[in-house]
Structure formats: C-alpha cells, structure tokens
Structure 1
Amino acid sequence: MNKVARFLWFCSGAHIPLLLRSPTDTNKYIGIGGTVLFTGILAALSAGYALYTIFQSLLPALFFGILWGLMIFNLDRFIVSSMRKKASAWNDWKLATPRLVFAVLLALVISKPLELKMFEREINRKLDEKKTVFLAESKAAIAAGFPEITALEGKVDTLKSETARVEAYRNRLQQEYDYERFGTKTDGTSGIVGLGSNARKKEQQLDAAQNALDQTKADNLVRIDTLESQIRGLMAIRQAEFEKQQPGIDGFDGLAARLDALHLLTEESIAMKYANIFIILLFIALETAPIFVKLIALRGPYDSLLDLHEDYVEVYVDEQTIKSREKSERRIKEFRLENGVSESFTT
C-alpha cells in the first residue's frame, strides 16, 4: 500500500518529503494522482484505437498509443502540480482558468476516439450505407463514360426486333396456311378443306417467308455476334475501371470517415446526439476533476509547507546574491589598496 500511495503521490505532482510532513493531505493527493493516472490510461486507449484505425497494425498503434498516454499523463501532472493554493479564491480561479481551458481541450481530444469505439456498430452500418451509395454513383459515373455500349446495345435490340418482326410475319402465314388446309373460315381463307389452289398459294407464301426468316436470322446473328463482341470488350474495360475504384470504396472506413459517420448519426438520432454529449461531458469532468479538487479543497498543511519551502529558497537565493555582491566589493577594495588606485579613477 505504501508503494501504491507513493506512486499516486508522484502522479499528483506532489513533493513527497513535504507531503509526508502533512499526513492530513495525503489522501487528497492520492485521489488527485489516481485521477491523473486513469486519465492517462484512457488517453492511451483512445489514441491506440484511433491509430489502429489509421495504420491497421497493432504494434504502431500500441507504441504511439502508449506514447500519447504518457504525454497526456505528463501534461495533466504538470497542470495539477503547477497550481498553488493561495489565500485568495479569486487568485486561485485566475490561475486555474487557462488550465481548465487546456484540460477541456484534452478531454475533447481523448473522448472522440473512444466515442468511435462505443458507437462502432452504428458507425459500421452507416459506413456500409455510404459505401453502397458510392458504389452506385461510381457505376453510374463509369457507365456515363462509355456511351458506345448503350449505342451498340441499341443496335442489337434493333436487329433482334427485325428478326422478331420477320418471324411474326412467318408465324402469321403459317397460321393462315393451317386454317386453309383444315377448312377454317377467316377473312384470309376460303374455308375449303384440303390442299386447293388457295392452300398451295399460302404454302408458297409461307416458304418464301421461311426463307426470308432464315436469311434474316443468319445475317442478324452474325451482326449481333459482332456487336456483342464489341460490347463485351467495352464492358471489360468498364469493369476494369470500376475495379480500380472499388478498393478505395471498400477501404472507406478510416478515422475521418468514421468521424463523419458519427456526425451524421448524431444529426439523425436524438438519442445518439445526447449520448455523444454526455460522453464528452463525462471526459471533461474526468479531465478537470483534479483541478476542481484543488480549487474547492481548503488550504492544507501541505500548501503552507510548500509556500514555506519556496520562501526559504527565495530567501536563500537573496542571501547568496547579497553575499556574492559583498564578496565582489571586498575584492575590488583590496585590489585598489594593493595597486594604489583611487576610487575616482575607477569611476
């Protein structure tokens, strides 16, 4: 317990020899040191997660996360240790104001990556939605850059329509021929059963239509194959262009993208908005807690001992300065006496 207490005193920035002479203040500085320590740990976790989303590698994220945590720990320790409890509350607040502002800024920096981790599922869902939109926009933009495909597909459709039209004409003649043979009375048939003159005429027309259909199919099939070959070539080029852009879309999950997704979520959902605000306030409270503890705490024996120690140092420095000046003046006088130099000459 003694080692833990000493470590927390160190975290609070207290002067341990003086603190040991004021046991009533030891628990206060244990609490301050614990707050500073856990703020540094949270800062390390926050930075580690943020850097992991950037580097996608554990070792760099671990190294820089620990480095960031130590830096925040050192800053918090400096902020707390540099505050001196004075007799005037107004002077205390004047000294604490810039430190509070700096602590709030640190809290905002620390809280944001942890917010991203807390809302990771919702952010991933929002990122998936944005990726889907980006994919559709990318496909549309690339397709707009290949108007030849649409033109070629139009030609293929025209040829297919022509074949279908010729085939429909042949089917109509086939039906009329069948009606004529079996004696079905229509506007175009005689209604006489058997292969009469009308049936033979229909048969000739059907044969001509069949030959025309076969020729049209053969000609259009060659043309369609040629056009579809060109379409496949252009589509392969278009797909290659899309595949070049797809890794960038799939990799749309960096730190900036996640921050943007979190911003959109807070705009879309009131619950997310207030949860985000409360988390930020929590970290602000955590970061500023040591400063407020020092502000609201009564002036204790440790503060008096610290002031006394600093006054002693100042008095000691003044004494040494005076002694040094007297010693220097004495040497000057001795030099004058030894060399017979008058004071008016030296001046």
Structure 2
Amino acid sequence: MHNVEKFLIFCSGAYLPLVRRCPASINRFIGIGTTVLFTAIFAGLSVGYALSTVFTSFWVILVIALIWALMIFNLDRYIVSTIKKQDQFFPEFKQALPRLVLALLIALVIAKPLELRIFEKEINRELDEQRLATIETSREKIAEGYPEINDLESKIEGLRAGIAAKEDFRNQKQKEYDQERFGVKTEGTTGLAGIGVNAEKKEKQLDQAEQDYQYTQKLNEGRIQDLEAEIRRINVLKEQEFQNQMVSLDAYDGLAARLQTFRDLTLKNTAIYWANWMIIFLFIMIEMAPILVKLMGSRGPYDQLLDFHEAGIVLAGEEQWYKKTKEGQLRREVFDELYPRKKSQRIAGETIW
C-alpha cells in the first residue's frame, strides 16, 4: 500500500491498521476518501472565487481559501467516520439523517460561488445592462433637480427667435427695395425702374431695418452668451453630482450584487434556471456520496473488526477500573487492620458527614 492510498484512506476517516487487515475494503475507503478530498478542493475553489469579489490580494484569498478547504475536509471526514454499519436500515438512517442535512447545507454553500463563476459572462452582461439603466435613471433624476436649465434654454430660443424675426424683416425690406429699383410690379411697388421717391423711401426703410437687426443681434447674442455660461456652470454641477453617484455605482459588483443578478437571470432564462438546479443537485450528490456509500454498503469485515477493537478498548478500560477499585478496597482493609483506631475515627467522621 503506497502513500497515496494511505492518504486517501486517512481522508475517508477509516482506521488504517484495521483496513490493512481487510484488503477487500481498501478500494471502498479509497473511493470515499477521494470524494471527501475533492469536496474540500471544490470548497476551496468556491470560496476563493467568492473572496475575489471582495479582496484584491492574492495571498489573502489563498490563505482564507485553504483554511476553508481544510475546515470542510475535516467536517466531511468527521461526518463519514462517525457512521457505523449495524445491518439495520432505520437505526443507520436515523444516525445518518443529521449528517445528510449538514452535507446538504455544505453542498449549497459550495455550489453557489461556483455557479457564479460558471455563469460569469451572463452575469457580467446583465450587470452591464443594469448599470446602463441605472446611469440613465440617475441622469434623469439629476436633470429633474435642475429645472432652471429648461428655463434658460427657453430664453435662449426666444432670443434667437427675436434675431431671426429681425433678420426676416430686414430681408423683406431688401427684397422690396430691389423690386422697386428694378421695376418689378407688386402691391407695394410702382413698377417703374430707377431710383425714384418710392425707391428712396424703400432704401430708408431698409437702412432702418438693418440697424434694428444689427442692434437686436448684438444685444441678444450677449444675453445668449450669458445664459449659455450659466447653463455650463449648472452642467458642471450636474456632472459632479453624477460622478459622485458613479463611484458607488462602479462598486456595485460585489458578491451580493452578483447573487441578486444571478437570481434575476434564473427567473428570466429557463435554461439558466434548470442549469442552476442541475449544478446544485450535482454538488449535493458529491457531498452526500460518502454517506450514501456507507448507508448502501453491507456490513463488512472492517466494521466487525472496528466493533471488536472498540469493544476491546472499552473492556480493557473496565478491567483497569475494576482492578483499581479492588486495589483501593484491599488497601483500605489492610489500613484498617493496622490502624483500628484510625478506622473508628474514619467511620465516625463518615457518619457525621
């Protein structure tokens, strides 16, 4: 028997000297030990991934994952080693039931982080969609907190509309003046070409409209610049508030967020829902496999030798206790014979007590 087999038998919780005397049971205990060992490895990987969403230091994650794996290994080994075959189903099942419940809880704890790792791409995509929706919602809420921007933009539109109206009026006067000069007959022109009285009147109206347009444009452009500067100032405040919210939003990628996102995915996607349950059942079976193997197996030579070995230890302890008791009684009788006065005092003291 080489060292690997010895280690796997140790993992199964069996007593190696007794297993050596039962060659037919070696493979069974190697299989149980291998299952216990791989369960501990899966537990370490599982908690390692879970910790990677919390810590950034590799060594911190490694140390905690090793401690967790050793704890699960010791717990599984204890659960398997305490089940004894009695060739009676109900007493054995009653003995194994609390251990099966504990194995179920361990399997659920181990399976969940590994599920998050298996469906990491889908979870990341769902997190991105939720993040974009949250960003859009945040921008809308921030914008609702600054209604003055809409008022300022309305004023800017009004000022530009005023400039456009003056420009249109100036263009209209330019058109009428040109029609009067070139003899184009309309309701407002004489139809006589040349610079006459009406043409001079049209020219004065054009000059007045141009001056009015230039004045309005200069005045409104200055007001527009002031309003736009105010809008930029408010937008800076909005952006600062948005960035403050983004700091907490970027941190929304922890274990709890991924668990919630994975739950949402299982509710929306039937394939992921059933895959999730299949993975959970797989880990439950892996965790319960050593216990079920012991329950389904028949009582073998190892179980008999173990009972004999434990009974021998109990018997040896009872013999030692019997011997010590007899020796104590013998010493008391000898002492009483040698010192009868002491015996009377001792009996009197015991009576008073």
- How far 1:344 sits from its partner (Å)? 5.2
* Aligned equivalent of 1:130: 130
Q: TM-score, normalised by structure 1?
A: 0.95
1:276 matched to 2:276? The reply is yes
1:38 matched to 2:38? The reply is yes
- How far 1:296 sits from its partner (Å)? 0.2
- How far 1:50 sits from its partner (Å)? 0.9
* Aligned equivalent of 2:266: 266
- How far 1:246 sits from its partner (Å)? 1.4
- 1:163 is paired with a residue whose SS is helix
- 2:53 is paired with a residue whose SS is helix
> Take 1:334 and 1:289, find their aligned partners in 2: how far apart are those partners?
61
> Take 1:298 and 1:276, find their aligned partners in 2: how far apart are those partners?
34
* Aligned equivalent of 1:172: 172
> Take 1:47 and 1:212, find their aligned partners in 2: how far apart are those partners?
77
* Aligned equivalent of 1:238: 238
- Write the deviation string for residues 285-333 of structure 1: whole angstroms up to 9, x where unpaired: 1111011000001111111111111111111222222222222223333
> Take 1:315 and 1:59, find their aligned partners in 2: how far apart are those partners?
50
- Write the deviation string for residues 220-246 of structure 1: whole angstroms up to 9, x where unpaired: 121111121121112112111111221
* Aligned equivalent of 2:140: 140
For the aligned residue pairs, the C-alpha RMSD in angstroms reads: 1.6
> Take 1:74 and 1:182, find their aligned partners in 2: how far apart are those partners?
108
What amino acid is aligned across from residue 125 of structure 1 in structure 2? R
* Aligned equivalent of 1:228: 228
- How far 1:29 sits from its partner (Å)? 0.2
- How far 1:49 sits from its partner (Å)? 0.9
- Write the deviation string for residues 165-186 of structure 1: whole angstroms up to 9, x where unpaired: 2222222222222222233333
From the superposition, tell whether residues 207 and 314 of structure 1 become closer, same or farther in structure 2 (CA, over 3 Å). same
1:203 matched to 2:218? The reply is no
**Which deviates more from structure 2 when the two are superposed, residues 152-161 or residues 326-335?**
326-335
What amino acid is aligned across from residue 66 of structure 1 in structure 2? L
> Take 2:260 and 2:150, find their aligned partners in 1: how far apart are those partners?
37
> Take 2:246 and 2:347, find their aligned partners in 1: how far apart are those partners?
91
**Which deviates more from structure 2 when the two are superposed, residues 242-251 or residues 14-23?**
242-251
> Take 1:155 and 1:287, find their aligned partners in 2: how far apart are those partners?
71
What amino acid is aligned across from residue 114 of structure 1 in structure 2? L
- How far 1:269 sits from its partner (Å)? 0.9
> Take 1:35 and 1:317, find their aligned partners in 2: how far apart are those partners?
35
Unpaired runs of 5+ residues, structure 2, are none
- 1:54 is paired with a residue whose SS is coil
> Take 1:319 and 1:162, find their aligned partners in 2: how far apart are those partners?
116
- Write the deviation string for residues 136-180 of structure 1: whole angstroms up to 9, x where unpaired: 111112222222322222222221222122222222222222222
* Aligned equivalent of 1:22: 22
* Aligned equivalent of 1:307: 307
What amino acid is aligned across from residue 128 of structure 2 in structure 1? D
Q: TM-score, normalised by structure 2?
A: 0.94
From the superposition, tell whether residues 200 and 271 of structure 1 become closer, same or farther in structure 2 (CA, over 3 Å). same
How many residue pairs end up in the alignment? 347
* Aligned equivalent of 2:62: 62
**Which deviates more from structure 2 when the two are superposed, residues 191-200 or residues 277-286?**
191-200
> Take 1:188 and 1:297, find their aligned partners in 2: how far apart are those partners?
115
- How far 1:56 sits from its partner (Å)? 2.9
* Aligned equivalent of 1:71: 71
- How far 1:261 sits from its partner (Å)? 1.4
The answer to whether the Cα contact below 8 Å between 2:12 and 2:80 also exists between their aligned partners in 1 is: yes
What amino acid is aligned across from residue 138 of structure 2 in structure 1? S
> Take 2:189 and 2:325, find their aligned partners in 1: how far apart are those partners?
140
The answer to whether the Cα contact below 8 Å between 2:87 and 2:298 also exists between their aligned partners in 1 is: no
Aligned residue runs from structure 1 range 100-115, under 5 A = 100-115=100-115
- How far 1:248 sits from its partner (Å)? 2.1
- How far 1:336 sits from its partner (Å)? 2.9
- 2:186 is paired with a residue whose SS is coil
> Take 2:33 and 2:206, find their aligned partners in 1: how far apart are those partners?
102
1:12 matched to 2:12? The reply is yes
**Which deviates more from structure 2 when the two are superposed, residues 260-269 or residues 333-342?**
333-342
The answer to whether the Cα contact below 8 Å between 2:49 and 2:114 also exists between their aligned partners in 1 is: yes
Percent identity of equivalent pairs: 48
